[in-house]
Structure 1
Amino acid sequence: MHFHTLGSAATLLLAFSSLAAAASPSDSTKLANCLKPLGSKVITSKSSAYEQQRYAFDLRYTFKPQVIVMAKSAADVQTAVKCAKQANVAVAPRSGGHSFEGYSIGGQDGSLVLDLTTMNSVKVQGSKAKVGAGILLGKLYLDLFNQGGWTINAGTCPSVGIGGHALGGGFGLLARKHGLLIDRIIEMEMVNADGKLLTVSATQNKDLFYALRGAGGGSYGVVTSFTILPVKPAKKVTSFSYEWKLSDHAKVLQAYIKFQSTASRDVGVEMNVAPSGLELYGIYQGSKSKHAAALASFLNAVPKPEYADVREGRHIDAQLRFAFVEGGDPKDINALALQGPYRPGDSRYTKGKSLVYPSALKPSTIALLGKWAAKKPKGATSNYIIVDLWGGAVKDVAVSATSFVHRDAHTVFEFVVEWDSNTKAKPGKPDCKDCLKWMNDMYKEFLADYKTNKYDSIIRGYQNYIDLAMPNWLEAYYGKAVPRLKKIKASVDPANVFRFPQSIPLK
């Protein structure tokens, strides 16, 4: 990929002077002069690459960054952060760019976007893997496999960047066996608000080690690398998918919720509830011959599936299967790297919400799942509710050990509606009004049901499915950790350099 090369300082200043940003002319000049050493890594609205690099994954969001820095090293990040602080410009780190609210491009006009995508190296040494913070999960899975058959306990979507995913918790199909991704991160390198590169671990910068693991998505600094303890999956794993008619939702979901308390930690599952029906999919860490016994208590309690697809193979094959990569050969593991014609299957226009349930679902909640999944909004290309079973190893870590407060989660819902699935979709198209009405009307009913059933004293949500309209979002995402998180924020970033609409506040 080639970027416009900025020549003289005069060219750079001219580009900045034309930007529609909150900064004053003097601040823009100051920022331009400060960033000059980064040369062509600096992209302004006068750069030919600006429109290409301006947008993140969800094309609903068209915020206009004051400048985009395509960082290639921690030193580049340090320079950019120092300059942003000096010019009073908010810093927005971007790994995969999948923020549900466009925070990867600032969540507002005028930010400095720090794109980390070229910082994507993976190096396994012994039992540790050092990973660049800009790598996408698909490429990470592929690189770990190629360096000794390793993997990590993270999500399925291959185009998600490790940065935001890890710092918000990082749930995936291996979480019940190996915990959240943050539970296997032993060290991070982070550029703080003063532009200093810090080592963050259980013995160095311990408060940051606590805060970053669960609440670190852009509020405290820019993480440039992670050191992770990867895992060795079983030599033979079994990936599976079962489907039922939506009319069977009550029996299937009741059995599914009951299965959470007895399921082996070797079973990682999700349930997709949609107008087309219900789909249970997941990975069992073992052979196909043993898989039936591992799922027996669930399968014996539900109607016969309309469809079943059970496959034994390598874990990397299971990861590719659930990556939903368009244009990839299922036999070609390189599809995980999202190279060439490969595209993630998700639409580029999306709205998502979440709810965290700390106890088994009540019948009224299960009924709502069936009711709202049956509705297909006009204009939607897809609408569904993902019901994740948590528990297992997620609960093994004390809630006080990290800033991730949902250790007691029994079930987590992700509500999603998508529109415009064109792979060449253009940014800034009008929202699908019926899609958003479906989402908002549905969520209102689920909130009322949550309160009626007294699942918790507060409404709770999963921060990786961040939602600007989340009721009492700070407590919903971070619970009793909020006072400590605010204190750490005030200590490490008193000038609030790292700020966006739902960043951890100073007070």
Structure 2
Amino acid sequence: MSLLKRFTVVACFLHTLRLGAGVAATESCTPKPSCKATPNSKSWPSEQEWASLNRTLSGQLLHPPPPGAVCHPGQPTYNATTCPAVQQAWLTSVYHSDNPVSSLQNNWNNDTCLPYPTDPCSGQGYPIYVVNATCAEDVKKGVDFAREKNVRLIVKGTGHDYLGRSSAPNSLSIWTHNIKGITFHDSFKPKGCQFSIDTPAVTAGAGTQMLELDDQAQQKNLTIVGGGAGTVGVGGYLTGGGHSYFSTTYGMAADQVLEIEMVTPGGDILTVNECQNQDLFWAMRGGGGSTFGVLTSVTVKAFPSYVFATANILVSSSIGDTDAFWNVMTNMLSQFPALNDQGVASYNNIAANVTVPELNITTPINGFSGIFFLPLTRPSNTTESFATVMNDFVALTTKGYPQVAFSITFTTYSNFFDYYMTGNGPLSGGDDVMLGSRLLDVKALTGNYTALKQAIQLATPAGEVTQANLVGGKNVWNAKPRGGSNAVNPAWRKAYVHTIAITSWTAFDNAAMKFQVNQINSTRIQALRDLAPDMGAYINEAFPYEPNFQQAFWGDNYPRLLKIKREFDPSDVLWCQPCVGNERWHVVDDVLCRL
């Protein structure tokens, strides 16, 4: 099977999965008319037209080779000296963030050119041209060109995108990575408003990443509601909603947004806030990236730094004590609402039947690892009170199960950034990964013990990992975003826990890919959908082909979001999967065509 044919098979499988099991693959993958231009079509811009765009961008239009091509002797950029360094860097998120076309996961570029000479290599999975934007005007020029020439347009900030929205073949990409700049404010007056907002704030260019923002903030004794990985960019993170170490204290990251500068699909550079362009201001805070326009800068609230107390909890059992382990896991999850009501949050991993060679665990175990934390923002919150709460939590949830081992380690940091720099190494990358997610409310966690136990077991089959992150709660529910509301999934306003099922497979193993993708959708996340049928999923960490994604990702907000999408992007200059208003198009053989 040729490389192109292999990608067609994978694309057809995923598209059929999205439409439903009753749709035949041949039907779902039949080409349709009215497609975006491709290099093989007569409507593709000429070399002269691309050169003209490059001149208007002062040479900032890139025509990048596949990043892994340096390891392939048949490629023009082959370099035997450089190749080993690329192979090593490939496994880190920083490499993909800093490259104009690469993405964190290989599968979103169709595995077309991995840095291993035994694998095939082509540019088929990557954008053809990239606008290396450094300002909003650069973005506008790229958007205008794509709209006028009918070229598929995508947006990449960092490539830290688990749904593949920042990757696409036969496309022009707006790369916002180099739109920099961080400015702090003691108070902030939104443009066009007659008032100032009396809060510290920070304005960041679209290319700003969380590590940069956290570092600059802590130097001013401030903290922002930001992502947990250093390479996360502000654009995709905030437009998706953004859970955080501080979401249980202050609300979602999107709830902190005071103002956005953006470029619309029509090419207008707009300032959106509660006083002007209110519909876009509402939609851009939770309605998803790469949809309503391209964010070029954003201003968000900042908060004083506080002492950051943490408890690292480890739980494990032998495979012979599996039932006891799942009882303890169910106990823990059922106590999460009570724990969160005391201000505690956590990020947790549950693994079934796994080995951990780096920890010398070579015999399979069931395991849990969690980092629980509490910013000490109130006089009643102390390191001693936090320790009491966490010790009581562990004692209660493990009582009666001596065969399940546990440990708890307390550490207190002077501020969040000190914790972050100690507890977070570079994020990995360069593999084939897919996620699925579900938000869980108090009913799902406390209403039926047996159903909760069954669901979390089904969500975590042998050899796999499920995250159960305690990042919701009353401060997310009761958040007061500027303008009165935003487009964050209403399910977040009821949720305590954000669960994520994670799976991976070896590149080019189509059978494994199909099995894992099907399992994560029809078994693992389906078990959590059944547990919490009235909830939804988090758009930035979700199954890309989520059934009824409109309801799952945006609930009752979807009709208004769709109306705004149609108003500001009537010809679908921006399109992504799964995004608001994408129903009129699908991808066939790497070509975006109207249905």
Q: TM-score range by the shorter chain?
A: 0.7 to 0.9
Contact 1:19 1:45 in 2 (8 A): no
Query: 1:417 is matched with which residue?
Result: 503
Deviation at 1:58, TM superposition (A): 1.1
Contact 1:173 1:282 in 2 (8 A): no
1:464 alignment partner, one of 510, 531, 540 = 540
Q: What per-residue deviation string (whole Å, max 9, x for no partner) do you get for residues 223-253 of structure 1? A: 011101011231x221221111154232233
Contact 2:315 2:405 in 1 (8 A): yes
Alignment of 1:211-230 (within 5 A): 211-230=283-302
Deviation at 1:48, TM superposition (A): 9.4
Alignment of 1:54-73 (within 5 A): 54-62=101-109, 63-73=125-135
Taking the aligned partners of 2:509 and 2:542, their CA distance within structure 1 comes to 18
Taking the aligned partners of 1:81 and 1:94, their CA distance within structure 2 comes to 13
Contact 1:259 1:298 in 2 (8 A): no
Deviation at 1:265, TM superposition (A): 5.4
Q: 1:22 to 1:218 in 2, by over 3 A?
A: farther
Taking the aligned partners of 2:342 and 2:157, their CA distance within structure 1 comes to 30
Contact 1:489 1:506 in 2 (8 A): no
Query: 1:111 is matched with which residue?
Result: 171
Taking the aligned partners of 1:240 and 1:154, their CA distance within structure 2 comes to 20
Query: 2:369 is matched with which residue?
Result: 279
**3-state DSSP of counterpart to 1:112:** strand
**3-state DSSP of counterpart to 2:235:** helix
Taking the aligned partners of 2:526 and 2:372, their CA distance within structure 1 comes to 31
Query: 1:203 is matched with which residue?
Result: 275
Q: Kindly indicate whether residue 490 of structure 2 is the aligned counterpart of residue 402 of structure 1.
A: no
Taking the aligned partners of 2:103 and 2:524, their CA distance within structure 1 comes to 29
Alignment of 1:46-445 (within 5 A): 53-62=100-109, 63-105=125-167, 108-126=168-186, 127-146=200-219, 148-234=220-306, 236-246=307-317, 247=322, 248-264=325-341, 266-275=343-352, 276=354, 277-286=367-376, 287-303=382-398, 306-314=406-414, 315-323=416-424, 325=425, 343-345=426-428, 348-358=431-441, 359-361=443-445, 362=448, 363-370=450-457, 373=460, 375-376=462-463, 383-389=464-470, 390-397=472-479, 401-404=485-488, 405-406=490-491, 407-418=493-504, 429-431=507-509, 433-434=511-512, 437-438=515-516, 440-445=518-523
Q: What per-residue deviation string (whole Å, max 9, x for no partner) do you get for residues 84-122 of structure 1? A: 2111223212112122232112xx322221111112322
Query: 2:44 is matched with which residue?
Result: 25
TM score, norm. by length of structure 2: 0.70
Q: Kindly indicate whether residue 36 of structure 2 is the aligned counterpart of residue 36 of structure 1.
A: no
The number of equivalent residue pairs is 452
**3-state DSSP of counterpart to 1:216:** coil
Contact 1:23 1:88 in 2 (8 A): no
Larger CA deviation: 301-310 vs 169-178: 301-310
Taking the aligned partners of 1:452 and 1:268, their CA distance within structure 2 comes to 25
Q: 1:136 to 1:447 in 2, by over 3 A?
A: closer
Deviation at 1:436, TM superposition (A): 5.8
Could you tell me which amino acid in structure 1 is paired with residue 206 of structure 2?
Answer: A
Deviation at 1:150, TM superposition (A): 1.3
Deviation at 1:41, TM superposition (A): 1.5
Taking the aligned partners of 1:430 and 1:200, their CA distance within structure 2 comes to 44
Query: 1:379 is matched with which residue?
Result: none
**3-state DSSP of counterpart to 1:104:** coil
- Gaps of at least 5 residues in structure 1 are 1-17, 326-342, 377-382, 421-428
Q: Kindly indicate whether residue 593 of structure 2 is the aligned counterpart of residue 492 of structure 1.
A: no
Contact 1:239 1:281 in 2 (8 A): yes
Contact 1:211 1:403 in 2 (8 A): yes
Taking the aligned partners of 1:477 and 1:320, their CA distance within structure 2 comes to 32
Q: 1:442 to 1:482 in 2, by over 3 A?
A: closer
Query: 1:425 is matched with which residue?
Result: none
Q: Give the structure with higher Rg (CA).
A: 2
**3-state DSSP of counterpart to 1:245:** strand
Larger CA deviation: 34-43 vs 441-450: 441-450
RMSD value, Cα:
2.9
Could you tell me which amino acid in structure 2 is paired with residue 465 of structure 1?
Answer: E
Deviation at 1:484, TM superposition (A): 0.7
Taking the aligned partners of 2:224 and 2:514, their CA distance within structure 1 comes to 34
TM score, norm. by length of structure 1: 0.81
Contact 2:127 2:173 in 1 (8 A): yes
2:551 alignment partner, one of 475, 479, 483 = 475
Taking the aligned partners of 2:38 and 2:574, their CA distance within structure 1 comes to 21
Deviation at 1:49, TM superposition (A): 11
**3-state DSSP of counterpart to 1:54:** coil
**3-state DSSP of counterpart to 1:34:** helix
**3-state DSSP of counterpart to 2:107:** coil
Could you tell me which amino acid in structure 2 is paired with residue 55 of structure 1?
Answer: S
Q: 1:451 to 1:242 in 2, by over 3 A?
A: closer
**3-state DSSP of counterpart to 1:280:** strand
Taking the aligned partners of 2:229 and 2:103, their CA distance within structure 1 comes to 15
**3-state DSSP of counterpart to 2:58:** helix
Q: What per-residue deviation string (whole Å, max 9, x for no partner) do you get for residues 326-384 of structure 1? A: xxxxxxxxxxxxxxxxx4235633211111223333432323423553512xxxxxx41
Larger CA deviation: 275-284 vs 390-399: 390-399
Taking the aligned partners of 1:446 and 1:261, their CA distance within structure 2 comes to 26
Could you tell me which amino acid in structure 2 is paired with residue 319 of structure 1?
Answer: Y
**3-state DSSP of counterpart to 1:209:** helix
Could you tell me which amino acid in structure 2 is paired with residue 278 of structure 1?
Answer: F
Could you tell me which amino acid in structure 1 is paired with residue 485 of structure 2?
Answer: A
**3-state DSSP of counterpart to 2:313:** strand
Deviation at 1:254, TM superposition (A): 2.1
Could you tell me which amino acid in structure 2 is paired with residue 255 of structure 1?
Answer: M
Contact 1:494 1:506 in 2 (8 A): no
Deviation at 1:413, TM superposition (A): 0.9
Q: What per-residue deviation string (whole Å, max 9, x for no partner) do you get for residues 47-99 of structure 1? A: 99998532111122223213111111112112211122111223212112122
Q: 1:255 to 1:479 in 2, by over 3 A?
A: same
Q: 1:67 to 1:135 in 2, by over 3 A?
A: same
Contact 1:93 1:114 in 2 (8 A): yes
Q: 1:89 to 1:49 in 2, by over 3 A?
A: farther
Q: What per-residue deviation string (whole Å, max 9, x for no partner) do you get for residues 16-51 of structure 1? A: xx9846672346654442342213311125799998
Taking the aligned partners of 1:444 and 1:47, their CA distance within structure 2 comes to 34
Deviation at 1:186, TM superposition (A): 0.6
Could you tell me which amino acid in structure 2 is paired with residue 360 of structure 1?
Answer: A
Deviation at 1:159, TM superposition (A): 1.5
Contact 1:21 1:65 in 2 (8 A): no
